[in-house]
Amino acid sequence: MAPRKKKPQRTRKPRTVANEEYTELEMYCIWLNEYYKSLIKAGFATDIALSFVMDKSSYPSWVSYRAPSEEEVKKYLDEEDED
C-alpha cells in the first residue's frame, strides 16, 4: 500500500490593522498606562502610583503634556461608534 500524501499546510497571514498610526489621544493613554505600570514595577503601592499618574506635576520633564481638546475627544468617540 502506498503512503498517504500529506495535506498541504496553509500559511496563515498575520492579521494587520489597516491604519497602524495612533492618534494623540491614544498615544497619551498608552503613555499613562506605561507610566502607571512602571511605578507599580518600581514598588509603589497602587494608590500612590495612581496619585502620581493623576498629578501632572509629577510627570518627567521630557514629557510634553498637551491635553486633547474636546473636538479631538468627540472625533475619536464618533470614529469608535462608527466601527
pLDDT tens across 13-67, in order? 777 666 678 887 888 888 899 999 999 999 999 999 999 999 888 887 777 667 7
Whether residue 22 contacts residue 9, with contact meaning beta carbons closer than 8 Å, is answered with no
Say whether pTM exceeds 0.95.
no
Question: Quick one: three-class SS letters along 24-51?
Answer: HHHHHHHHHHHHHHHHHHCCCCHHHHHH
49 domain residue, yes or no: yes
Q: Does position 78 have pLDDT exceeding 80, yes or no?
A: yes
Q: What is the extent of the structural domain holding 60?
A: 24-82
pLDDT for the residue numbered 27: 84
- Which grid cell sits at 19? 491604519
30 domain residue, yes or no: yes
pLDDT for the residue numbered 17: 60
12 domain residue, yes or no: no
Q: Domain count of the chain?
A: 1
